[in-house]
Amino acid sequence: MGDRPQLADLQVGQEVGRREVTVDRARLVRYAGASGDFNPIHWNDRVARSVGLPDVIAHGMWTMGAAVSVVVDWAGDPGAVVDYQVRFTRPVPVPDPGSATVEVVAAIGALDADAGTARVDLTVTLDGVRVLGKAQAVVRLG
């Protein structure tokens, strides 16, 4: 894998990845099982509405996990992501029938030559509105 990105070739502001990810109820059930997060607001309309939500919503951790795969694929090694943080600013309602499509855009936010790391800032939106705030992944590069 000699084609991993090199720190010296990068510039702040440079876009390094972009992807649309689609989530439906089946995806949420799958994430619930894989993660062990069985909170019913992520699969049960009745419970979601009873706590004031407009619909079943995606696990924030699903959105966080789906968004970073853009960074992993660009970095070329999942082990290169040394730090990853987000704020959950808006829920992602997931209709049934149907699905929701989240857009992820990854761009270089900062470069640290001494540490050998790049900070990748993720803009994650649903219908043009951000659903994650301060979504930043720090990637160790050669």
Under the rule (CB under 8 A), what is the footprint of other proteins?
1, 21, 27, 30-31, 33-37, 39, 41, 47, 51, 60-62, 64-66, 68-69, 71-73, 76-79, 81-88, 134, 137
Q: How far is the CB of 46 from other proteins (least distance, A)?
A: 12
Q: In this complex, which beta carbon is closest to other proteins, that of residue 11 or of residue 124?
A: 124
Q: How far is the CB of 8 from other proteins (least distance, A)?
A: 21
Q: In this complex, which beta carbon is closest to other proteins, that of residue 11 or of residue 86?
A: 86
First-to-last C-alpha distance (Å) of the chain: 12
Which residues make beta-bridge pairs with 22?
Answer: 101
Residues 121 and 37: their CA atoms lie apart, in Å, by 26
DSSP 92-124: -B--SSS-EEEEEEEEEEEEETTTTEEEEEEEE
Strand, coil or helix: 142: coil
Q: In this complex, which beta carbon is closest to other proteins, that of residue 11 or of residue 140?
A: 140
